[in-house]
């Protein structure tokens, strides 16, 4: 497990506020209803299209998908083997049935190359009334092994992510104010592990990817989706640059956490709607805003 440099211990908070442990030998699974499956099918293609836009890093404000955050590209230097950060979580209001607002950590291999060879794992929280059936913040995971074309899915909607937690399950309503995520490649199994603080959530097996022995790109950001005929929804807390990522670290090949210095801020709309401010010195980022952009 990568070494965290912060001394906070939120395990006790997690134990007090998340569901009680399941019996030994069982895991917590969100019950999937017929309505859940219908919503998942309805949104599957739409979600894949949005993810492709972000992966391609389209930098214009003419679309219905917008983002603000930071990315760390390995380039010709040493690759990354994990990433971690504490994400503020908000029970965000003002997201309509047809809209989405999310905050996430994304690790990718093969970005910029053929789509069929882009491997990605990601986790975070989102508000999507149409997909989730309510307007609350949900913990989620996603993966793809072909650049969001045919493979991959949210949470446990298809084979891929393997849950091991007896307390936390992808898709659940997340009621805490902080999501303390760590994603890293296990040196013994080569699987990609997911933790919330020190609570193991599960893993993505190495077999579902093309060649994700490491990752060349890490993105941490908020992003929103809205139909053209609706003003874009709020991101983060809904207040300009109020939401934050803290304790941002990247994991090297020896399992050590490093404070990233080479970065690029991403913001396709500018400060009027959503902001981003990455602080190199303390490994933190402020982002988000009220939204309200609409194509004219």
Domain count, the chain: 1
In a domain, residue 293? The reply is no
In a domain, residue 296? The reply is no
Q: When comparing pLDDT for 283 and 57, which is higher?
A: 283
CATH value at residue 174: 2.60.120
Residue 74's contacts (CB-CB under 8 Å, 6 or more residues apart) are 80, 215, 216, 217
Computed over every residue of the chain, the mean pLDDT equals: 86
Start-to-end CA distance of the chain, whole Å, equals 49
The DSSP-derived string for 209-243 is SSS-SSBSEEEEEEEEE--TTSPPPPBTTSSTTTE
Q: How far is CA 218 from the centre of its chain?
A: 11
Give pLDDT, residue 1. 72
Domain containing residue 71: 31-288
pLDDT (tens digit per residue) in 214-270:
999 999 999 999 988 899 999 999 999 999 999 999 999 999 999 998 899 999 888
In a domain, residue 110? The reply is yes
Task: Calculate the alpha carbon distances from 25 to 22, 28, 165, 250, 256 in Å.
Answer: 8, 11, 10, 33, 32
The DSSP-derived string for 19-40 is PPPPPTT----PPPPHHHHHHH
| DSSP label of 157 | S
Give pLDDT, residue 13. 44
Joined tokens for residue 176: 């805490």
């Amino acid at each position: 497990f990568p070494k965290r440099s912060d001394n906070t211990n939120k395990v006790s908070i997690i134990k007090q506020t998340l569901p009680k442990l399941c019996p030994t030998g069982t895991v917590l699974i969100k019950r999937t209803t017929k309505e859940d499956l219908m919503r998942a099918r309805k949104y599957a293609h739409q979600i894949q299209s949005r993810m492709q836009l972000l992966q391609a890093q389209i930098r214009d404000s003419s679309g219905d998908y917008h983002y603000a955050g930071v990315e760390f590209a390995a380039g010709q230097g040493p690759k990354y083997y994990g990433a971690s950060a504490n994400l503020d979580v908000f029970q965000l209001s003002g997201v309509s049935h047809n809209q989405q607002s999310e905050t996430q950590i994304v690790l990718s291999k093969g970005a910029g190359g053929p789509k069929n060879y882009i491997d990605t794992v990601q986790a975070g929280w989102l508000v999507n009334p149409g997909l989730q059936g309510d307007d609350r913040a949900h913990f989620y995971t996603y993966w793809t092994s072909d650049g969001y074309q045919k493979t991959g899915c949210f949470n446990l909607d298809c084979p891929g992510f393997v849950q091991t937690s007896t307390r936390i399950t992808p898709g659940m309503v997340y009621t805490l104010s902080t999501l303390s995520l760590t994603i890293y490649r296990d040196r013994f199994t080569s699987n990609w592990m997911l933790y919330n603080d020190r609570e193991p959530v599960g893993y993505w097996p190495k077999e579902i990817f093309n060649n994700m022995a490491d990752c060349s790109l890490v993105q941490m950001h908020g992003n929103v989706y809205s139909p053209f005929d609706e003003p874009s929804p709020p991101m983060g807390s809904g207040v300009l640059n109020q939401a934050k990522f803290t304790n941002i670290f990247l994991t090297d090949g020896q399992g050590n956490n490093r404070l990233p210095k080479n970065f690029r801020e991403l913001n396709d709309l500018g400060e009027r709607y959503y902001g981003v401010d990455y602080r190199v010195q303390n490994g933190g980022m402020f982002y988000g805003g009220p939204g309200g952009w609409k194509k004219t």
